[in-house]
Structure 1
């Protein structure tokens, strides 16, 4: 039975503030609580010297830094390039020096520089000249998420089902990947990895989001579009940690963000663009899992619709015979 205009008015009056409060919490809470939490960093050099450096990190507070020890600067550099740590402090005869990786996180690099303001700094893996602060890379995630939500919503609203829906989602994701790589890589120079690899990551991200939204809609109806958008945009984007690092967000936001497509996409993009694929397996697995589950739900929803359609027809009351 349709609801009355008064009830619909009340629903709008109540629902909009609730959504606003949820959005403010999701976006403002992590930003207001940025601080290192088990942030992986390294110290390198003789044991006595590294113990002093480790004590300096410990003074920042219990649980702030996850300190890894390395025998020398070469080992510390290798750990940064493998994405085991965000940076390191090396004990040398002339005093400590700081190794950073602005490509991994300009925010963390700045944090390490502020911790030892008089120490010389070497940027082991530098951010691209077109995006030295990483802001353009971070800003690229929201358009990808919105493109994926739009693809899933359009597939649902246009009535595409089953294999045709999957084909539409795959085609849209592929074109988004090509366009994104052309803009972010070829034009802006924000992403410096291989063009094909970049396009593949962007396409997979769009497919993971679009498949999730369309899959939820196939199982739950049009309400699934709203649920998918809520999870991806209002949680996945602010919890992604791509503007700084997941370890800078309050628990459990950073961990949750890495299990959602936007956070996994940000980590995977950094790995393939700047670190020759180091530490790419985890975020790649997350994106593939979301994409496979979403597309499976799309196909399952279509099969369920076909299976129930004959039943509904069979139980439909017969039309009355024409008079006369």
Structure 2
């Protein structure tokens, strides 16, 4: 028996027999190309476009300095104008609010007084949230200015209505000074950047743009290490993952900081966090491929790219994404890695314990699958290999009426398990 080149038929005792599986396989491949792939592509586009199209503040932690009437009016106005947008936290003075910003407790704070509003923000935490707070501060100032102007106008009208005819000559002077009164009623806004972003990357574009390449590079490292024939032993694969991620992270850091100046602080710690981020992604990809075979590569890519990267909030903030998506993104390596890298670079590691735990958990699970995954998949592979190892009958071909006795010539050294040892 031998197959022809096109694999649609084979020769059996000199007769050409049509392969009955070829038609079903062709229809199955057509169904995959016409139905399954468009569905996957549609879901992938929605995973990226939906969060980006629904960016809006949702329970963004923001501080309010003081408990005076002006601060209370500001909170009430923001609560009515943007319900559910902010999670307000009170601080006694600006120093306490600045400390909370540096500790990553809040994204910023509003210090409201009678004729001024000070916006304390941290561009390094999120340029988009910092711009949002600046805009909100200006809106509060404009609203307060209008209210003060209305109060002054009402006071002048009351004064004009009760004045005696002997004081009528003062009306002209009062109207002439109205413009000065209106200008004095204007509430001024001052924005203070408590933790600014790098001067070479004022909008944080370089920082946010590095998340997607990190995810792709991590998957590539994991796939290569798992499929490399020269890395037969699990400990060799783990060692290669560690070295490759450390060296790749060093190269990324040299580009991001040495060439573009986007990671200006805590150099060694930043490089270590980049290495851990890469390792968590690559170890997960390698472990899934080790357990599921080539299909694991597609699964890990879909999880890390279309879910983890799309829901990471690296370009805005997790609190700017739709509800539920922010939590999912921070439990996956791309989102946790971006937040950890931001905390390490600009905030001296403040509030990084949770993100660090997420990356360590994914790394440990991935490396465990790489080390001991062959124990899980050994039994099915041995069973399948032993079924036709020596002289068992192949199933009868359709229309042949008898089974073919074909002895497999299996060599022990050729069927070496790549995960053993």
Instruction: Pick the aligned partner of 2:259 from 187, 212, 223.
Output: 187
| Distance of 1:310 and 1:20 partners within structure 2 | 37
Are residues 1:220 and 2:292 paired?
yes
Instruction: Give the drift of 1:278.
Output: 0.7
Q: What is the RMSD computed on CA atoms of the aligned residues?
A: 2.1
The answer for the alignment partner of 2:273 in structure 1 is 201
Q: Is the 8 A contact 1:44 1:70 kept in 2?
A: yes
**Shift, 1:120, TM fit:** 0.7
Check if 1:293 corresponds to 2:365: yes
Partner of 1:107: 128
1:242–1:263 contact (8 Å) kept in structure 2: yes
3-state SS of the aligned residue for 1:63? coil
> Which whole-Å CA distance do the structure 1 matches of 2:304 and 2:384 have between them?
35
Q: Is the 8 A contact 2:266 2:348 kept in 1?
A: no
Deviation at 1:194, TM superposition (A): 2.0
Shift of 1:238: 1.4
State whether residues 291 and 377 of structure 2, in contact with CA within 8 Å, keep that contact through their aligned partners in structure 1: no
CA displacement 1:44-72 (0-9 Å, x = unmatched): 02443321221122123332110000000
Decide which of 153, 161, 176 is 2:223's aligned counterpart: 153
TM-score, length basis structure 1: 0.93
Which residue of 2 is the match for residue 119 of structure 1? 189
Tell me the alpha carbon deviations over residues 187-234 of structure 1, each in whole angstroms, 9 at most, x when there is no partner.
Answer: 211111222111111111111111111111111121111110001001
Identify which of 170, 176, 179 aligns with 2:242. 170
8 Å CA contact retained: 1:162, 1:303: no
Establish whether residue 58 from structure 1 lines up as the match of residue 130 from structure 2.
Answer: no
Q: Is the 8 A contact 2:388 2:408 kept in 1?
A: no
Give the 3 Å change call, closer, same or farther, for CA 157–28 of structure 1 in structure 2. Answer: same
Superposition pairs for residues 253-268 of structure 1, below 5 Å? 253-268=325-340
Distance in 1, matches of 2:79 and 2:376, equals 57
Give the 3 Å change call, closer, same or farther, for CA 321–35 of structure 1 in structure 2. Answer: closer
Is the contact made by 1:46 and 1:91 (CA closer than 8 Å) also made in structure 2?
Answer: no
For the residue of structure 1 that corresponds to 2:116, the secondary structure is coil
For 1:321 and 1:119, the matched residues in 2 are separated by 83
Q: What corresponds to 1:42 in structure 2?
A: 63
C-alpha change, 1:316 and 1:262, in structure 2 (3 Å) is same
**Is the Cα–Cα contact under 8 Å of residues 45 and 92 in structure 1 kept in the other structure?**
no
Instruction: Give the alignment of 1:7-156 within 5 angstroms.
Output: 7-92=28-113, 94-117=115-138, 118-156=188-226
Tell me, yes or no, if the aligned pair for 1:162 and 1:301 is still in contact at 8 Å.
no
**Following the alignment from structure 2 to structure 1, what is the Cα–Cα distance between the partners of residues 347 and 74?**
26
8 Å contact from structure 1 (residues 50, 69) kept in 2? no
- Distance in structure 2 (CA, Å) of the matches to 1:162 and 1:306: 14
- Structure 1 unaligned runs (5+)? none
Q: 1:178 to 1:104 in 2, by over 3 A?
A: same
Q: Secondary structure at the match of 1:96?
A: strand
How far has the Cα of 1:295 moved from its partner? 0.7
Structure 2 length-normalised TM: 0.72
Structure possessing the higher radius of gyration over alpha carbons: 2
Give the direction of change, closer, same or farther, for the CA distance of 1:119–1:312 in structure 2 (3 Å limit).
same
Residue 210 of structure 1 is aligned with which of 278, 282, 300?
282
* Partner secondary structure for residue 61 of structure 2: strand
* Contact 2:59/2:319, CA 8 A, preserved across alignment: yes
* Separation of aligned partners in 2, 1:19 and 1:39: 33
1:261 deviates by 0.7
8 Å contact kept, 2:241–2:279 = yes
Q: Secondary structure at the match of 1:144?
A: helix
The answer as to whether partners of 1:219 and 1:301 remain within 8 angstroms in 2 is yes
SS of equivalent residue, structure 2 residue 81: coil
